[in-house]
Amino acid sequence: MTPNSQLFQDLSSVLYDEAQLAAAVKALGERITQDYQGKSPLMICILKGASLFFTDLIRQIDLPLTIEFMAISSYGASTVSSGEVRMIKDLDRPIKGRDVLIVEDIVDSGMTLSYLTRLLHSRGANSLKLVSLLDKPSRRTVPLTVDYSCFQIPDAFVVGYGLDYDEKYRNLPVVGILDPKVYS
Ligand code: 5GP
């Protein structure tokens, strides 16, 4: 994909290019590898937004990990959260006794991860940590700390590298701010 692509044209700016994303994901993978020495963590990908980040991240973690997928309701054709968290696809196996890492694309209000944290704790995980590519701490409406994140970003609606607007832009290889003219 070239910068002349329509997908790129719809961005008002690029926040992180492919090289910056790859470097940050590699560094995060190395940190998790160190922190989980001797363990076999269960990495849970939250579909669909975290899918690109997830597949890159697990290849940078040198541990005998296992993976699972979960799907949670998204914003749909909107840039503002409905405030309602709904599960669309649950895990395939029990997580009792596992060291779990939940992998998200972005944390905004914190409601999605707060819901998932309560749910997975109740299923008896041995430990539970939160991983997110992006974090918007200024937008939090519930208290929630992300254990591992690559970038903290200001309050803007971003797309690319898995993140969508109305299901599009996930295949952009960069993360950028969507030009408000696209949705206003
Ligand atoms: P939260 O529950 O923390 O408010 O929202 C988390 C979810 O909202 C993310 O997984 C993502 O689907 C969506 N989200 C929040 N901010 C953005 C954004 O700037 N861009 C996109 N594409 N999705 C976002």
- pLDDT at res. 173: 97
Is 35 labeled as catalytic in the residue annotation?
no
- pLDDT at res. 80: 65
Does pTM top 0.75 for this prediction?
yes
**Residue 42 predicted with pLDDT over 90:** yes
Question: Which pairing describes strands 175-178 and 87-89: parallel, antiparallel, or unpaired?
Answer: unpaired
The best mutation among 11, 72, 75, 158 to test binding of ligand 1, ranked by most ligand atoms within 8 Å of the C-beta, falls on: 75
* Residues 44-53 as b or e (16 or more Cβ within 10 Å = b): bbbbbbbbbb
- pLDDT at res. 86: 84
Band of pLDDT at residue 3, cut at 50, 70 and 90: confident
pLDDT tens digits along 55-114: 999 999 999 999 999 998 855 556 666 667 888 999 999 999 999 999 999 999 999 999
Query: What residue has token string 């590699």?
Result: 26
Q: Which protein residues are within 6 Å of ligand 1, measured from CB? A: 49, 74-75, 81, 104-112, 157-159, 163-165
Alpha helices in the chain (DSSP H): 6-9, 18-35, 51-58, 111-122
pLDDT tens digits along 121-151: 999 999 999 999 999 999 999 999 999 999 9
State the chain's mean pLDDT as an integer. Answer: 94
Q: Please tell me which residue in 105, 108, 135, 164 is annotated as part of the active site.
A: 108
Residue 64's alpha-carbon distances to 40, 58, 80, in angstroms, are 5, 10, 38
Mean pLDDT value across residues 156-162: 97
